[in-house]
Chains A and B, each alone.
Chain A
Amino acid sequence: MALVLNLHHEIDKRRAISRRDPLKIAMGALVVIILGFAGYYFYQLNVAHNLESEANALEGEFNALDKKAAVAKTRADELNATIKASESLVKRVEGRFYWAAVLGELAQAVPPDIQIIRLSGDVNSDAVKRCSLTLEGIAAGPEPRKLAEDLRKALSDRLSAKFKNVTSAFKSLEDSNEQVKINGKPQKTVDFMINVQLQVGEEAPTPPPVTRKKKSVE
């Protein structure tokens, strides 16, 4: 085997020491770290810039929309007021209580032997119209009480065909001392007062009561 002599070993050793110089290695590592930090900073700067741009764009969009929405809100309020007024007016017109129908039924229900002296009626102003009628009159005949009772029933039957929740009840029914002549014959009379209640329209259904489920006891 041939003997090899390295005459540059001093130079090689110096180069090796120079390569492994901790200061140099540390400087290199420091440069890499600084570059990494700087890169990360610029990346974050870019993200922040993009986010700010997006936020500004959104703000611009919102500002434009907000003006339109404010105008739209004013217009919507106007339109809603008109729609509400229209609905209320139509409801008012269509929900009126028609007395003509009641008067027509009364005219047909009262027989010739009965005279109505006074009739008064009132309607409430709620959505469901409730009407209260009071009839005062005189019934004359062989059986005047029966005549008055027939009138009460006739009123109830006739009005029930057109109205809801009709009730007809005597407030008073009293024999009178006065007598009237019908076809030349004197007849007994009774004074009566009948109260009739009736309703137009449906009441809004009441919501079912909320019931809590009982916890089962184990």
Chain B
Amino acid sequence: MNTKLGKEEIQKMVLGGIMAIIVVYVYFTVLLGPLQGSQEASRQKQAGLHPKIADAQKQIKQTAALEIAAPKSTITVKELTALIPEGSPVAWFPPQVNDFFKREGIEKVTTRMNNESQDKDLTSFRKISWAIEIPKVEFGPFAQAVADFENEQLLAEIAGLQIEMSKEDPEFQHINLTVNNIVKQ
């Protein structure tokens, strides 16, 4: 048997080899390449979505937990807010203070608004500072009135006081109070 390859056969083989290389290259580049790119993109998409889904589920769970805990707080806020009358504080607080001290037997009380400020913790409320002047009162009834005021006015706090002996009548005192009150926004 003659095993020697002719020139034409060698050319065919070389051409065949080149064709095979081109076919393999095209196979990997044109067919498999985009497929693997698509797979990688899908994997990355999944990897990106898993933490987002976990975060969303966590948020939903947290809100569900808050829904259980919140009613108590809502009731507390409603109860305390109900203590604040409607309308401008300057319209209702001075009469409220006058009525209170009248009930305590203390007359001629003057209430003026000093200033108002915003509290960073209480965004739907604001704090108003008032100056309350009692021109003439005995110490005993005044101390009793302060105790009753502190028990009755839960959203008010006496931030400062000044008690001065009356020169004309040493049994009586002239009193200035600084009261901070929380009111609606």
Residues of A within 8 A of B (CB): 17, 26, 37, 40-41, 44-45, 47-48, 51-52, 54-55, 58-59, 61-62, 65-66, 68-69, 72-73, 75-76, 79-90, 92-93, 96-100, 103-104, 107, 115-123, 125
What are 28 contact pairs spanning A and B, CB under 8 A? A41-B35, A51-B38, A52-B42, A55-B49, A62-B52, A62-B53, A65-B53, A65-B56, A69-B59, A72-B62, A72-B64, A73-B59, A73-B63, A79-B67, A80-B66, A81-B123, A83-B66, A83-B73, A87-B73, A88-B122, A100-B143, A100-B150, A104-B143, A104-B147, A118-B162, A118-B164, A120-B160, A120-B163
* A54 to B142 Cα, complex, angstroms: 77
**Residues of chain B lying within 8 A (CB to CB) of residue A104:** 143, 147
**Residues of chain B lying within 8 A (CB to CB) of residue A88:** 119, 121-122
| B46–A58 CB distance below 8 A | yes
| A107–B74 CB distance below 8 A | no
**Residues of chain B lying within 8 A (CB to CB) of residue A123:** 157-160
* A62 to B52 Cα, complex, angstroms: 7
| B60–A100 CB distance below 8 A | no
| B76–A86 CB distance below 8 A | yes
**Residues of chain B lying within 8 A (CB to CB) of residue A68:** 56, 60
B151-167: CB near A (< 8 Å → 1, else 0) gives: 00011011111111100
**Contact residues of B: prevailing secondary structure:** helix
B139: CB under 8 A from chain A?
Answer: yes
Q: Shortest CB–CB separation between residue A155 and chain B, in angstroms? A: 15
| B77–A76 CB distance below 8 A | no
* A44 to B31 Cα, complex, angstroms: 10
Q: Which B residue's beta carbon lies closest to that of A53? A: B42
| A96–B150 CB distance below 8 A | yes
